[in-house]
């Protein structure tokens, strides 16, 4: 039995969304039609293309081969519909997930620059802070914090970034600048919801200052930043995000400087697709270009020391938390 290209495209939509309902919404089909298309594809190919997994459907080995063929169909259709100039560029959909800060300041600019030369390239970016998935249904690229423990995937380190304690100038004027950890614990903490934090490497505040009480907690880094700017307490923030705001001051930079790695996780076959390979290169280049910014500018204490001594502060030789 011949394979219907439309059935392949339905499989690709299920692979990207993980669910029949999500695929149906993307394609304008109902759940029953999606299920019927998948059943027809399995009959034509003589085997299962999907298997049940936690949270949805995962491609089987046969399904992965079929999905690669579907991507070829998708790209061919895009080329046919494009102008001669655009048809020579990269095309297709690349689906990735990354943390909030990485997505906003590394991924978004990198992808935008790539798309200017490749207008048919589509990137779907899911912002989430979690461990790397064991079942990467529909995801070509994951960017996670900390070394991932994954199977059937390729992983490599992208670069490092630093988190520090920040407070607004108004907050410090009202409550004072903490001179050490013993004073820091007297202030409320703005950070992740402890019970929902999935990444062990991000538990530094609870490890370093466990008696610091929570103030406003959120699963979103940009909520942390805005809550800190609004005076909700002292936020534990990525330096490359917080340093963009002149109303935020880094406190105790020589004492608390949590250096963490970004890792990229890829499906084994992802780099075979030119569009995925191009996005990976763009992300790596942008991370390297931002390497100094990712490590932060220091804070009020280091700047004061620089003014007093008339020299640049040395690399932190006192207690740097890593």
What pLDDT, on a 0 to 100 scale, did the predictor assign at position 172? 97
Residues linked to residue 250 through DSSP beta bridges, in sequence order: 166
Whats the size of the chain, residue-wise?
A: 322
Element (H, E) at 260: strand 258-266
What pLDDT, on a 0 to 100 scale, did the predictor assign at position 215? 93
What pLDDT, on a 0 to 100 scale, did the predictor assign at position 64? 82
Angle value at C-alpha 179, between 173 and 180, nearest 5 degrees: 135
Superfamily for 159-260+293-309?
Answer: Periplasmic binding protein-like II (3.40.190.10)
Note down pLDDT in tens along the chain; length 322 residues: 688 889 999 998 888 778 898 888 888 899 899 999 999 999 999 999 998 877 688 888 898 889 888 877 877 776 566 555 544 568 888 989 999 999 999 999 999 999 999 998 999 999 988 777 765 556 889 999 998 887 767 889 999 999 999 999 999 999 999 999 999 999 999 999 887 877 777 888 888 888 899 999 999 999 999 999 999 999 999 999 999 999 999 999 999 999 999 999 987 777 778 899 999 999 999 999 999 999 998 644 434 433 433 333 333 322 232 2
Total-model pTM: 0.70
What pLDDT, on a 0 to 100 scale, did the predictor assign at position 298? 60
The set of residues, in sequence order, having a beta carbon less than 8 Å from that of 5 and lying 6+ positions away, is 70, 73
What pLDDT, on a 0 to 100 scale, did the predictor assign at position 194? 82
What pLDDT, on a 0 to 100 scale, did the predictor assign at position 131? 72
What DSSP character marks residue 90?
-
Domain range summary for the chain, segments of one domain joined by +? 1-81, 159-260+293-309
Which CATH fold topology does 1-81 show? Arc Repressor Mutant, subunit A (1.10.10)
What pLDDT, on a 0 to 100 scale, did the predictor assign at position 202? 82
* Cα 208 to Cα 151: distance, rounded to the nearest angstrom: 32
What does the block give as tokens for 93? 């959909």
């Amino acid at each position: 039995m011949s394979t219907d290209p439309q059935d392949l495209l339905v499989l690709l939509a299920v692979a990207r969304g993980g669910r029949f309902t999500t695929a149906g919404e993307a394609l304008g089909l109902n759940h029953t039609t999606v299920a019927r298309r998948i059943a027809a594809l399995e009959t034509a190919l003589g085997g299962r293309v999907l298997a049940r997994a936690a949270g949805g459907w995962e491609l089987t080995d046969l399904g992965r081969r079929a999905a690669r063929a579907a991507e070829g169909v998708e790209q061919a259709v895009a080329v046919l519909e494009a102008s001669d100039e655009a048809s020579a560029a990269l095309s297709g959909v690349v689906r990735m997930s990354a943390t909030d800060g990485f997505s906003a300041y590394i991924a978004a600019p990198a992808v935008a620059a790539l798309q200017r030369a490749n207008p048919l390239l589509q990137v779907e970016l899911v912002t989430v802070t979690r461990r790397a998935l064991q079942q990467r249904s529909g995801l070509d690229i994951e960017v996670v914090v900390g070394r991932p423990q994954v199977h059937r995937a390729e992983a490599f380190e992208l670069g490092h970034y630093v988190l520090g304690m920040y407070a607004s100038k108004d907050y410090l004027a009202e409550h004072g600048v903490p001179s050490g950890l013993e004073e820091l614990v007297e202030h409320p903490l703005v950070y992740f919801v402890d019970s929902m934090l999935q990444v062990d490497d991000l538990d530094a505040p609870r490890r370093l200052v466990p008696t610091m009480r929570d103030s406003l907690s959120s699963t979103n880094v940009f909520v942390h930043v805005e809550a800190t700017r609004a005076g909700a307490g002292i936020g534990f923030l990525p330096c490359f995000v917080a340093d963009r705001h002149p109303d935020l001051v880094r406190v105790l930079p020589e004492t608390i400087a949590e250096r963490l790695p970004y890792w990229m996780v890829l499906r084994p076959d992802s780099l075979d697709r030119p569009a995925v390979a191009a996005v990976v290169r763009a992300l790596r280049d942008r991370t390297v270009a931002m390497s100094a910014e990712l490590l932060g500018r220091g804070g009020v204490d280091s700047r004061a020391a620089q003014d007093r001594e008339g020299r640049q502060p040395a690399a932190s030789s006192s207690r740097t938390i890593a």
